A and B are shown apart, each in its own frame.
Chain A
Amino acid sequence: MVDDARLADLRRKFGRAPAAPSEPAPAKRTPREAQPRFRGLESGHRACQGCGEALAARLVVECAGPDVMIANATGCLEVFTTAWPESAWRVPWAHSLFENAAAVASGMEAAMKAKGRNTKVLAFGGDGGTYDIGFQALSGMLERYHNVLYVCYDNEAYMNTGIQRSSSTPHAATTTTSPAGKERMGKRHLKKDLLSIIAAHHIPYTASASVAFPQDLQRKVRHAMGIDGPAFLVVHSPCPLGWRHDSRLTIDVARKAVECGLFPLVELERGALTNVMPIREVRPVADYLKPQGRFAHLFSDDVRAQEERDHLQALADYNIQVYGLTGEGQDPADTGGAAAVGRSGRAPRGNDGAARRVS
Chain B
Amino acid sequence: MREALEGSQAIARAVALCDPDVIAAYPITPQTHIVENISKLVAEGDLHTEFVSVESEFSAASVALGAAATGARAYTATASQGVLLMAEVLFNIAGMRLPMVMTVANRAVSAPLSIWNDHADSMAVRDAGWIQLHATSNQEAVDTTIQAFRITQDTELPVMVCMDGFILTHTLEPIDLPSHEDVRAWLPPLEFDRKLDPADPKSMGMLVTPDFFPEVRHSHHSAMQKALATIEQADADFESAFGRASGGLLTVEGDPEAKIGLVAMGSTVGTMRAGMAHFQAEAGPARLINLRAYRPFPSQALRDAVRGLDHLIVIDRAISPGLGGILGSEVAAVLSSAPDAPRILNVALGLGGRDIPETLYPDLLAAVRDPDAPAFSVFDADLKKLAPEDR
Question: What is A's interface to B at a CB cutoff of 8 Å?
Answer: 9-10, 13-14, 66-69, 71, 78-79, 81-85, 87, 89-97, 99-100, 103-115, 119, 136-137, 139-140, 143-144
Look across to chain A and name the residue whose beta carbon is closest to the beta carbon of B74. Answer: A107
Question: In the complex the two chains form, what is the Cα distance from A115 to B71 in whole Å?
Answer: 10
Residue from the list B58, B198, B204 in contact with A94, Cβ < 8 A: B204
Contact A140 to B54, CB < 8 A, known contacts A92-B197, A119-B198 = yes
10 cross-chain pairs, A with B, having the tightest CB-CB distances, nearest first: A107-B66, A103-B62, A140-B55, A111-B72, A92-B196, A104-B66, A107-B63, A82-B206, A87-B203, A100-B62
- Count of chain A to chain B residue pairs whose CB atoms are closer than 8 Å in the complex: 159
- Whether A114 lies near B69 (C-beta < 8 A) is no
What residues on A are CB-neighbors of B201 within 8 Å? 14, 89-93
- Whether B212 lies near A108 (C-beta < 8 A) is no
10 other A-B residue contacts (CB within 8 Å) besides A96-B65, A100-B58, A106-B24: A69-B196, A81-B203, A84-B207, A84-B209, A91-B198, A95-B204, A106-B54, A107-B63, A108-B67, A110-B72
Residue from the list B22, B55, B58, B65 in contact with A99, Cβ < 8 A: B58
What residues on A are CB-neighbors of B96 within 8 Å? 96
- Whether A136 lies near B56 (C-beta < 8 A) is yes
Look across to chain A and name the residue whose beta carbon is closest to the beta carbon of B206. Answer: A82
| Distance of A123 from chain B, by nearest CB (Å) | 9
- Whether B21 lies near A114 (C-beta < 8 A) is yes
Look across to chain A and name the residue whose beta carbon is closest to the beta carbon of B76. Answer: A107
- Whether B72 lies near A100 (C-beta < 8 A) is no
- Whether B70 lies near A108 (C-beta < 8 A) is yes
| Distance of B201 from chain A, by nearest CB (Å) | 5
| Distance of B360 from chain A, by nearest CB (Å) | 43
Look across to chain B and name the residue whose beta carbon is closest to the beta carbon of A95. Answer: B205
What residues on A are CB-neighbors of B55 within 8 Å? 136-137, 139-140, 143
Question: In the complex the two chains form, what is the Cα distance from A329 to B207 in whole Å?
Answer: 50
| Distance of B3 from chain A, by nearest CB (Å) | 28
Contact A111 to B206, CB < 8 A, known contacts A99-B58, A106-B63 = no
Contact A107 to B203, CB < 8 A, known contacts A97-B88, A140-B54, A144-B52 = no
Instruction: Find residues 164-206 in chain B having any chain A CB closer than 8 Å to their own CB.
Output: 196-199, 201-206
- Whether B24 lies near A107 (C-beta < 8 A) is yes
Q: Does B262 contact A (CB under 8 A)?
A: no
Contact A107 to B196, CB < 8 A, known contacts A84-B206, A87-B206, A136-B55 = no
27 A-B pairs (CB sep. < 8 Å): A66-B198, A83-B207, A83-B208, A84-B207, A84-B209, A87-B206, A92-B197, A92-B201, A92-B204, A94-B69, A94-B196, A96-B62, A96-B65, A97-B62, A97-B92, A100-B58, A103-B54, A107-B52, A107-B63, A108-B70, A108-B196, A109-B66, A110-B67, A114-B22, A136-B58, A140-B59, A144-B54
Residue from the list B50, B66, B92, B206 in contact with A71, Cβ < 8 A: B66
Q: Does B162 contact A (CB under 8 A)?
A: no
Q: Does B265 contact A (CB under 8 A)?
A: no
- Whether A111 lies near B21 (C-beta < 8 A) is yes
Question: In the complex the two chains form, what is the Cα distance from A294 to B53 in whole Å?
Answer: 43
Question: In the complex the two chains form, what is the Cα distance from A90 to B65 in whole Å?
Answer: 21
What residues on A are CB-neighbors of B65 within 8 Å? 96, 100, 104, 107
Question: In the complex the two chains form, what is the Cα distance from A96 to B67 in whole Å?
Answer: 12
What residues on B are CB-neighbors of A85 within 8 Å? 212
Q: Does B49 contact A (CB under 8 A)?
A: yes
Look across to chain A and name the residue whose beta carbon is closest to the beta carbon of B55. Answer: A140
- Whether A82 lies near B67 (C-beta < 8 A) is no
Question: In the complex the two chains form, what is the Cα distance from A256 to B286 in whole Å?
Answer: 81
Q: Does B345 contact A (CB under 8 A)?
A: no
Q: Does B348 contact A (CB under 8 A)?
A: no
Interface size of B in residues (CB-CB distance below 8 Å): 42
- Whether B89 lies near A82 (C-beta < 8 A) is no
- Whether A111 lies near B67 (C-beta < 8 A) is yes
| Distance of B251 from chain A, by nearest CB (Å) | 36
- Whether A111 lies near B22 (C-beta < 8 A) is yes
Instruction: Find residues 39-69 in chain B having any chain A CB closer than 8 Å to their own CB.
Output: 49-50, 52-56, 58-59, 62-69
- Whether B72 lies near A115 (C-beta < 8 A) is yes
What residues on B are CB-neighbors of A69 within 8 Å? 70, 196, 198
Residue from the list A92, A105, A109, A137 in contact with B198, Cβ < 8 A: A92
What residues on A are CB-neighbors of B206 within 8 Å? 82-84, 87, 95
- Whether A82 lies near B203 (C-beta < 8 A) is yes
* Most chain B CB within a 10 A radius of its CB, from A90, A96, A99: A96
- Whether A107 lies near B205 (C-beta < 8 A) is no
- Whether A108 lies near B50 (C-beta < 8 A) is no
- Whether B89 lies near A97 (C-beta < 8 A) is yes
- Whether B64 lies near A107 (C-beta < 8 A) is yes
| Distance of A273 from chain B, by nearest CB (Å) | 27
What residues on A are CB-neighbors of B204 within 8 Å? 92-95
- Whether B66 lies near A108 (C-beta < 8 A) is yes
What residues on A are CB-neighbors of B209 within 8 Å? 83-84
Look across to chain B and name the residue whose beta carbon is closest to the beta carbon of A87. Answer: B203
Question: In the complex the two chains form, what is the Cα distance from A69 to B74 in whole Å?
Answer: 18
- Whether B59 lies near A106 (C-beta < 8 A) is yes
Contact A112 to B70, CB < 8 A, known contacts A13-B199, A97-B92 = yes
What residues on B are CB-neighbors of A110 within 8 Å? 21-22, 24, 50, 52, 63, 66-67, 72
Look across to chain B and name the residue whose beta carbon is closest to the beta carbon of A137. Answer: B59
What residues on A are CB-neighbors of B68 within 8 Å? 107
- Whether B198 lies near A104 (C-beta < 8 A) is no
What residues on A are CB-neighbors of B212 within 8 Å? 84-85
Contact A106 to B52, CB < 8 A, known contacts A92-B197, A115-B72 = yes
| Distance of B260 from chain A, by nearest CB (Å) | 47
Contact A78 to B207, CB < 8 A, known contacts A91-B201, A96-B89, A119-B198 = yes
| Distance of B199 from chain A, by nearest CB (Å) | 7
Contact A111 to B70, CB < 8 A, known contacts A103-B59, A104-B65 = yes
- Whether A108 lies near B198 (C-beta < 8 A) is no
| Distance of A265 from chain B, by nearest CB (Å) | 30
Question: In the complex the two chains form, what is the Cα distance from A320 to B149 in whole Å?
Answer: 57
Question: In the complex the two chains form, what is the Cα distance from A91 to B21 in whole Å?
Answer: 23
What residues on B are CB-neighbors of A140 within 8 Å? 54-56, 59
What residues on A are CB-neighbors of B71 within 8 Å? 111
